[in-house]
Structure 1
Amino acid sequence: MYKPLKFKNKDQSMFLPTLKERVDHFFDERQVSRHANPFMIFKTVLFLSIAVSLYVVIITSVLPLFMQLIAGILLGMTMAFIGFNICHDALHGAYSSNKKVNKALGFIFNIIGANTYVWNLTHNIVHHSYTNIIDHDEDIEIAPGLIRVNESDKINKLQRYQHIYAFFLYSLTMLSWIFRKDYLKFFKKNIGNSHVNKHPGAEYVKLFLYKAIYYALFIVLPLLLMSLSWWQFLIGFVAMHLAEGLVLGLVFQLAHVVEDTEIRHADNNAIHDAWAVHQLKTTANFAPASRL
Structure 2
Amino acid sequence: MATKLKFTNTGRSSFFATLRGRVDAYFTQRAISSHANGAMWAKALFFLIGYALIYGLILSNQFGSWTMLGLAALLGVFAACIGFNVSHDALHGAFSAHSWVNKFLGGSFYLLGANPYVWKITHNIVHHTFTNIPGHDEDIEVAPGLVRLDPEEPLRPWHRYQQWYTFPLYALASLSWVLRKDYVKFFKNRIGQHDTPHHPRREYVKLFVTKALYYVFFLVLPLALLSLSWWQVLIGFLVMHLAEGLALGLVFQLAHVVEGTTFPLPDETGNMHDAWAIHQLYTTANFAPRSKTAAFICGGLNRQIEHHLFPKVCHIHYPAITAIVKRTAHEFGLPYLENRSFGSALYSHFRLLQTLGRPA
Tell me, yes or no, whether TM beats 0.5.
yes
Q: Distance in 2 between matches of 1:4 and 1:104?
A: 34
**Deviations 1:78-99 (Å, cap 9, x if unpaired)?**
0000001110000000011121
Alignment check: 8 A CA contact 1:111 1:213 kept? no
Query: Post-superposition shift, 1:227?
Result: 1.2
Map of 2:237 onto structure 1: 237
Query: Post-superposition shift, 1:3?
Result: 5.4
Q: What is the RMSD of the two structures over their aligned residues, measured on CA atoms?
A: 1.6
Paired amino acid for 2:223: L
Query: Post-superposition shift, 1:258?
Result: 1.0
Alignment check: 8 A CA contact 2:170 2:245 kept? yes
Map of 1:48 onto structure 2: 48
Paired amino acid for 2:234: L
Query: Post-superposition shift, 1:37?
Result: 2.3
Tell me whether 146-155 or 19-28 shows the greater mean CA deviation: 146-155
Query: Post-superposition shift, 1:31?
Result: 3.4
Paired amino acid for 2:284: T
- Alignment partner of 1:23 is 2:8: no
- Alignment partner of 1:34 is 2:39: no
Map of 1:273 onto structure 2: 274
Map of 2:131 onto structure 1: 131
Q: Distance in 2 between matches of 1:126 and 1:227?
A: 45
Tell me whether 145-154 or 239-248 shows the greater mean CA deviation: 145-154
Map of 2:250 onto structure 1: 250
Paired amino acid for 2:286: N
Query: Post-superposition shift, 1:30?
Result: 3.4
Alignment check: 8 A CA contact 2:134 2:150 kept? no
**Deviations 1:46-92 (Å, cap 9, x if unpaired)?**
10111000001101211111100000000000000000111000000
Query: Post-superposition shift, 1:267?
Result: 1.6
Tell me whether 191-200 or 65-74 shows the greater mean CA deviation: 191-200
Tell me whether 244-253 or 37-46 shows the greater mean CA deviation: 37-46
Map of 2:148 onto structure 1: 148
Residue 65 to residue 203, structure 1, CA distance change in 2 (3 Å): same
Partner SS, residue 245 of structure 2: helix
Paired amino acid for 2:100: K
Paired amino acid for 2:88: H
**Deviations 1:208-228 (Å, cap 9, x if unpaired)?**
011111111111111111111
- Alignment partner of 1:118 is 2:118: yes
Query: Post-superposition shift, 1:177?
Result: 0.1
Alignment check: 8 A CA contact 1:127 1:138 kept? yes
Map of 1:263 onto structure 2: 263
Partner SS, residue 178 of structure 1: helix
* Counterpart mapping for 1:1-292 below 5 A: 4-151=4-151, 153-268=153-268, 269-292=270-293
Paired amino acid for 1:145: G
Paired amino acid for 1:18: T
Tell me whether 169-178 or 251-260 shows the greater mean CA deviation: 251-260
Alignment check: 8 A CA contact 1:131 1:282 kept? yes
**Deviations 1:223-255 (Å, cap 9, x if unpaired)?**
111111111111111000000000000011011
Q: Distance in 2 between matches of 1:110 and 1:236?
A: 19
**Deviations 1:169-201 (Å, cap 9, x if unpaired)?**
000000000000000000001112322241111
The number of residues matched between the two structures is 292
Residue 134 to residue 152, structure 1, CA distance change in 2 (3 Å): closer
**Deviations 1:78-133 (Å, cap 9, x if unpaired)?**
00000011100000000111211111110111232110110111111111111110
Alignment check: 8 A CA contact 1:134 1:266 kept? no
Unaligned 5+ runs, structure 1 = none
Q: Distance in 2 between matches of 1:111 and 1:66?
A: 23
Paired amino acid for 1:206: K
Alignment check: 8 A CA contact 2:134 2:152 kept? no
Partner SS, residue 237 of structure 1: helix
Q: Distance in 2 between matches of 1:9 and 1:159?
A: 35
Alignment check: 8 A CA contact 1:2 1:195 kept? no
Partner SS, residue 285 of structure 1: strand
Partner SS, residue 273 of structure 1: coil
Q: Distance in 1 between matches of 2:164 and 2:220?
A: 35
Residue 121 to residue 260, structure 1, CA distance change in 2 (3 Å): same
Partner SS, residue 209 of structure 1: helix
Q: Distance in 2 between matches of 1:270 and 1:25?
A: 32
Alignment check: 8 A CA contact 2:50 2:78 kept? yes
Alignment check: 8 A CA contact 2:79 2:111 kept? no
TM-score (norm 2): 0.78
